[in-house]
Structure 1
Amino acid sequence: MLKSILSDLNDVENYSVDYIVSDNLSFDEFPNCNVIHVDDLFSWLDVNCKYYDCCLFIAPEDDLIQYKITLILEKHGIPIIGSNSSASYTCTSKSRTYDEIPDNILKVPSRIINITNIDYENINNILKKKKLIIKPDNRTSSDLIYKFNDIHQLRKIIKKYEKENVQKALIQEYIPGSSISVSTICNNDNIDILSINSQEIKESTTQIEYKGCKTPIQHPLKKEIIEQTKKILTIIPGLRGFVGVDYIIQDKNIYFIEINSRITTPYIVLHELTDENLTKTLIENLLNNENRKIKIKSTGYFYK
């Protein structure tokens, strides 16, 4: 995703762009973008962000990293090309997001658990009636999403979570269906639907993994998906910039999964398909409170 953004910004003549990464990362193919290597990102931002006109960042939900960066930028009054700290905090937790979404939106039946205090007997009773999956409550990666059929399998998963320092997890009913996402640009009350995207999912007997996307796709429930997405995004204040919403479609049922209050994988494809510079338009829309529409010219794919 960072390469996609830098590719766009490298072509903008009147921008002076610095990008901040860890010591082992840089990209030689973007000569108009200046790399800055830092060890302690939070400390560096707290001292130096005041020298910049705005900030667009890519960061995971893990350990509230995205939220903490947003707090620092807000503290110094730096315009953020993205969601504010309140929306970020809500969306970094799947359970907090679910709590905000009203019951008239179809959601996957879920329960939050603390890894150190699990009621295995209760979960076992649910397993007698339903298939279940488990996922970390506040992680970006899909590498830790599992299906389980019995308590023995669940205990093995919990041991993996303990090694990965996962503290809370969401147990959900397994809903068979097709996974999709919707990519949007939010700017105050305006929500521009960029695309509906397929989610290429690999399922084994025990694990569910995200492998890529096709974007945009035509969907028979397009109207309903767009209506529901706009409704959901108006519920949580402070969502701005590139925002994604994930669903599972089962027959004509549209199950809400989560909101990603950040740039997501389809951006890698979309920035190549738009009729103008996607990142430049995103920045200028938010800085100038404009609502320039972005048109998608064709279809593209991304696979891991």
Structure 2
Amino acid sequence: MANNDAKFIQQGMMMLNTLVTSFSRCKHTVYYPTAGTRLSCGNALPSRSFFKSLEFSKNCDAGVVIAPDELLRGATEILEENTCNLGSSPDAVHVCADKLACTRMLKQHNLPVPRTVINCVTEGVWVVKPRFGCGSEGINRINVTGMQKIPKDAVATEYIKGEHISVSLVASNSSILPLTINRQIIRHNRGSITYHGNQTPFEVENKREILDIASTAIRILGCRGYAGVDIINSDQPCVVDINPRATASIVPVSQVLTREIAELILQAKNDILPSKIDTMGSAEMILPG
């Protein structure tokens, strides 16, 4: 986990606590790097350098990285050099982090994605966001009457009205297990679009279609372990982002599963995922601000 943004640090600590707690409940010895914060379980590895702390992974049987997209590939490469990686490969991480490349790959396989452009946009309503990055940082909706340039490090996607949802999944080499559909709490403020949490599970009328789209996207991109697919559920559901890693959704999702999330991640690595998973109750995570 590495980022200087307070909001990302908060979300990262929540994800870290969820995973450390789950692996500990499964009777595994767990180590985690930290610059100061101590969790109620697991073994802290004090370190001021995130990448240096990853070297300890050579003493472990397996590991999983929690990090923003811009650091995830490098961190995953280090982890794979030292031990068994329970998450997606560096190559899968790299493609998913590039919103343009990711969208183009999904489109090539006939998955529904919004029209996506770079450099400039024409008349219409567009969502402009960083080409590389995670979360909902720097995402804005703009109304264009003629032609307008966008920053060189950004992409623009057509604005689609609909329900903001995500699908949480666990993927192995031969199978994909959908866990939950989640409602994303999205706020619009003077053109800015920000993420403030999620509620799970969330019922949709086209559940089978949504799960099929999400599973196919994960299969195309080669994600492994815990992953998420962000979708705008409109007349035609559209995939808007792929997260090849643990996201904040893992916090409430793990609370409603009837199995430990750590157990499922390990089963994915060993390619012995169950065919289905049940949930019990509901949970939500609301970010302050």
TM-score, length of structure 2 as denominator length? 0.86
Counterpart residue number, 1:262: 245
Residue 291 of structure 1 corresponds to which residue in structure 2? 273
Letter in 2 for 1:71: E
**More divergent stretch after superposition (82-91 vs 98-107):** 98-107
Larger radius of gyration between Structure 1 and Structure 2: 1
Q: Which runs of 5+ in 1 are unaligned?
A: 114-121, 159-166
In 2, Cα distance between equivalents of 1:235 and 1:12? 31
- Aligned amino acid, residue 41 of structure 1: F
1:143: which partner in 2? 137
Look up the match of 1:73: 79
- 1:38 matched residue in structure 2: 47
User: RMSD between aligned alpha carbons?
Assistant: 2.0
CA distance in 2, matches of 1:280, 1:295: 14
**TM-aligned CA deviation for residue 287 of structure 1:** 3.9
For 1:289, the aligned partner's letter is: D
Q: Secondary structure at the match of 1:234?
A: helix
TM-aligned CA deviation for residue 82 of structure 1: 0.7
Structure 2 SS opposite 1:253? coil
Moved over 3 A (4+): none
> For residues 193 and 286 of structure 1, what CA distance do their matches in structure 2 show?
12
Return the match for 2:63 from 42, 45, 55: 55
Query: For 1:97 and 1:150, how far apart are their aligned partners in 2?
Result: 25
Aligned counterpart for 1:173 among listed residues 158, 177, 198: 158
Aligned to 1:184, the other structure's residue is in SS state: strand
Equivalent residue in structure 1 for 2:188, among 200, 203, 207: 203
Write the distance in 1 (CA, Å) between the matches of 2:20 and 2:111.
Answer: 37
Q: Are 1:278 and 1:294, in contact at CA under 8 Å, matched by a contact in 2?
A: no
Q: Distance in 2 between matches of 1:20 and 1:267?
A: 19
The gaps in structure 2 that reach 5 residues or longer are 1-14
The question of whether the paired residues in 1 share the 8 Å contact of 2:65 and 2:76 is answered with: no
Partner Cα distance (1:44, 1:301) in 2: 32
Q: How does 1:91-102 map to 2 (within 5 A)?
A: 91-102=96-107
CA distance in 2, matches of 1:98, 1:233: 12
Matches within 5 A, 1:1-304: 1-13=15-27, 15-21=28-34, 23-27=35-39, 29-30=40-41, 33-45=42-54, 47-62=55-70, 65-76=71-82, 78-103=83-108, 104-113=110-119, 122-123=120-121, 126-127=122-123, 130-149=124-143, 168-237=153-222, 239-250=223-234, 252-283=235-266, 285-292=267-274, 293-304=276-287
Q: Which residue of the partner structure matches residue 9 of structure 2? A: none
Q: How many residues align?
A: 269
3-state SS of 1:6 partner? helix
Secondary structure of the residue aligned to 1:208 is strand
Q: Deviations over 1:96-124 (max 9, x none)?
A: 211211342221111134xxxxxxxx53x
Matched residue, 2:10: none
Structure 1 CA distance, aligned partners of 2:269 and 2:125?
46
CA distance in 2, matches of 1:100, 1:259: 12
Whether the 8 Å CA contact 1:179–1:246 is kept in 2: the answer is yes
Query: Secondary structure of the residue that 1:133 maps to in structure 2?
Result: strand
User: If the length of structure 1 is used for normalisation, what is the TM-score?
Assistant: 0.82
- Residue 259 of structure 1 and its aligned partner are, at CA, apart by 0.8
The superposition leaves residues 173-222 of structure 1 with CA deviations (integer Å, 9 ceiling, x where unpaired) of 11111111111110012010111111111112311111111111111111
Residue by residue over 1:64-106, the C-alpha shift from the partner in whole angstroms, topping out at 9 and shown as x without a partner, is x110011112223x11111011111111111121121134222
- Aligned match of 2:11: none
